[in-house]
Amino acid sequence: MFVKYIRWSLYLLYLTIKKELEYYLPNVNLFEALICFALFVILLMVTERVFRKKISVVYIIVSALYYTFLISITVLGRSGGSKSDISTLFITYKNAFLNDQINLTDIVFNMALFIPVGLLISRYKKNVFCVTVLLLTPVIIEFTQLFTGRGVFEISDIINNFVGGLIGLLLARLIAKAVEIMKKKRKDKQVERTE
């Protein structure tokens, strides 16, 4: 029963992602996306200087591509229609709680969309910096939607995106710890063999 529910949920998430990509990406202006990409490359290079930490070209390109994709799907590919109403700020949660699968899938999609942000930002060791970036990214996106009229401003999206980013950050930290433990065990075995 549980496996069937998980499989069904993943399939529903797949359909949602496919629908979002098919709907929003064709509307993206290539010139806007290129400017966005260039701005992210510059931002990452400035970050490299500020933190005095060498960033590989591959990391810069992958990060800039992902952030450009993120902005394309959340802002650039959207049409007008931004709105916010205090009475509907948490309507996504209310509907999901009432067993509305569409809103539940939307919550999971918004979290999944930001897991890579957490993975990408995990290279920085300062947790305060990482959490700040994970919080500011969806806040900036949602307020950009509000002020440009491209998309719908929702507090629940900020929360879902932030949680997704945290999941990505925690996954990256856990993977790094596991790799560190495995390296230590391998090193200990090599020391035992030489003795």
DSSP state of 99: T
pLDDT tier at 135 (50, 70, 90 boundaries)?
A: very high
Cβ-based neighbours of 84, under 8 Å, separated by 6 or more: 146, 152, 153, 154
Query: Exposed/middle/buried for 78, CB within 10 Å: 0-12, 13-18, 19+?
Result: buried
Give the angle 103-108-110 at the CA atoms, nearest 5°.
90
The pTM (predicted TM-score) of the whole model is: 0.77
Name beta bridge partners: 80.
Answer: 150
* Portion of the chain with pLDDT greater than 70, in percent: 73
pLDDT at 157 over 70: yes
pLDDT of residue 44: 82
pLDDT at 45 over 80: yes
Type of residue found at 2: F
Structure tokens at 100: 């509305």
Distance of CA 84 to the CA centre of its chain: 22
Q: What's the full length of the chain, in residues?
A: 195
* Alpha carbons 156 and 126: distance in angstroms, whole number: 26
Q: Give the helix ranges, DSSP H, for 81-126.
A: 91-97, 101-121
- Report phi then psi at 90, rounded to 5: -115, 30
Mean pLDDT for the chain overall: 80
* Alpha carbons 111 and 168: distance in angstroms, whole number: 9
* Alpha carbons 12 and 151: distance in angstroms, whole number: 22
